[in-house]
Amino acid sequence: MASPEVSGALQAIEATPNTDKPARYSALLEQITANSQNLAADLNAYARTLLDDSLGVVVLRPLLANFVEQFRKIKDPDVKIDVGEKVIELLQTKGVGQYEEQDTQVKEILSDSYEENEDFRKSAQILGSINLESTQRSLSADDKAKVWIRIVRCYLEEDDPTSAFTHLNKVKNVIYNVQDKQTRLMFQLSQARIYDSQRSFLDAAQAYYTMSLETVVDEEERLQALGAAIVCAVLAPAGPLRSKMLAKLYKDDRANQVDDFPILEKMFLDRLLSPAEIKAFAEKLQPHHLARTADGSTVLDQAVLQHNLVGASKLYNNIGFDQLGELLGIDAEKAEDYAAKMLEQGRLAGYIDQIDRLIFFEGAGSGERKTGHSERVYGKELRKWDANVQGLAEEVEKATTMIQTQHPDFYASQMVH
């Protein structure tokens, strides 16, 4: 409830002629913001009286603009939330179309206050109620994108990538017309975080890596983006696409400055990862990186299993189910199941002999999903022999060419015989 002094002053203003009201309203507002002991109640009473008064639009707009400026200066976020919510309701009943600019400003201040209180969902909802398709004021692509990006970031703070993605799609419709570099960077970062949250780790790795190359970003933040790209690449499903991403990251000159470079190096070189290395890496991950999948394993567990399977394919021509399970730290049936899925999806090349309980590896996967059952490729050893003979012939030809180039006289003398 408003203080008696403020209630009395408001009643006195209502009784004065309209020509005197603007000056008296402005003076009372200064008095409230400077001396009130019950700021929220006094401001709510002030706003209610002001908007219920019979003042015309031309007189009311400057008074509302002054109110918004004083409202912005309040330090206590709880007071701003209390007052801001009431003012928005009052503007709705008044007909917000005529006071759209003030309504937008109050909502932006209110959103700041909710974020200060770490209520990001409410902040996003308030921002989402701003009319960005206004006929009263012209909004550029930059204006719209800034609001939508802010909504996206709020939903990401609430770990709600679905709602964030909905608003990111709105940004995509205008991003090519956005001139502000900072907004464009926030769009890239938000896109990367959404991919990351949705476990589209290859897309996230590429988006983070692109962010790490932006020269306008601080060096420290660029390294953080590179580190995030490495984490996502490690967590991505094993296969040719991930191998390309790992190669790109490994060859970046800055990669060795990132804490996770050792695991990146082992992944890139297809070396097997030890349980100790996996445990150390897991301790740095975010909760969604360690979420359980349908079979009870984590995303990291699956990524490491698939990587070690690819690593095993580089070490062995073939391996038994039991031996593979022991190597991967899982039972034989699960090892066979993982291998079968990767072979079917084209992330490994080879075939399974279920009678002899053996997996045969045939080099790198194509990345293309197989449409039928895996078929044993006959003549494999013969093709290997042909390839070796061809390689030997090429090496002999290279040696001959080098002799001819560096010792032409000797070469000519030999050709005569």
- Work out the pLDDT band at 382, boundaries 50, 70, 90: low
Mean pLDDT of 13-27: 88
Write the burial class of residue 221 (CB in 10 Å: 0-12 exposed, 13-18 middle, 19+ buried).
middle
The predicted-structure confidence for 130-172, as pLDDT tens digits, reads as follows 988 866 667 889 999 999 999 999 999 998 988 999 999 999 9
Domain-located, residue 380: no
Residue 385, pLDDT above cutoff 50 = yes
Structural domain ending residue among the three candidates 132, 165, 197:
132
Domain that includes residue 104, residue range: 1-132
Q: Distance between CA atoms of 365 and 306, rounded to whole angstroms?
A: 13
Residue 68 lies in a domain: yes
**Domain contains 343:** no
375, part of any domain = no
Among 98, 132, 166, the domain-final residue is 132
pTM of the model: 0.69
- 219 Cβ contact list (under 8 Å, min separation 6): none
Does 145 map to a domain?
Answer: no
Q: Which of 109, 132, 155 marks a domain boundary? A: 132
Residue 376 forms part of a structural domain: no
Report if residue 91 sits inside a domain.
yes
Q: Please name every residue paired with 361 in a beta bridge, in sequence order, or none if there are none.
A: 350
Q: Which pLDDT score, from 0 to 100, does residue 341 have? A: 79
Q: Determine, yes or no, domain membership for 194.
A: no
**Per-residue tokens: 97:** 């179309």
Tens-place pLDDT, residues 279-327: 888 888 888 888 777 777 788 888 888 787 877 878 788 888 888 777 7
Query: Using one digit for the tens of pLDDT, what is the confidence trace for 180-206?
Result: 988 999 999 999 999 998 889 999 999
Question: How many domains is the chain built from?
Answer: 2
Nearest 10 degrees: Cα torsion 69, 75, 81, 85 = -20
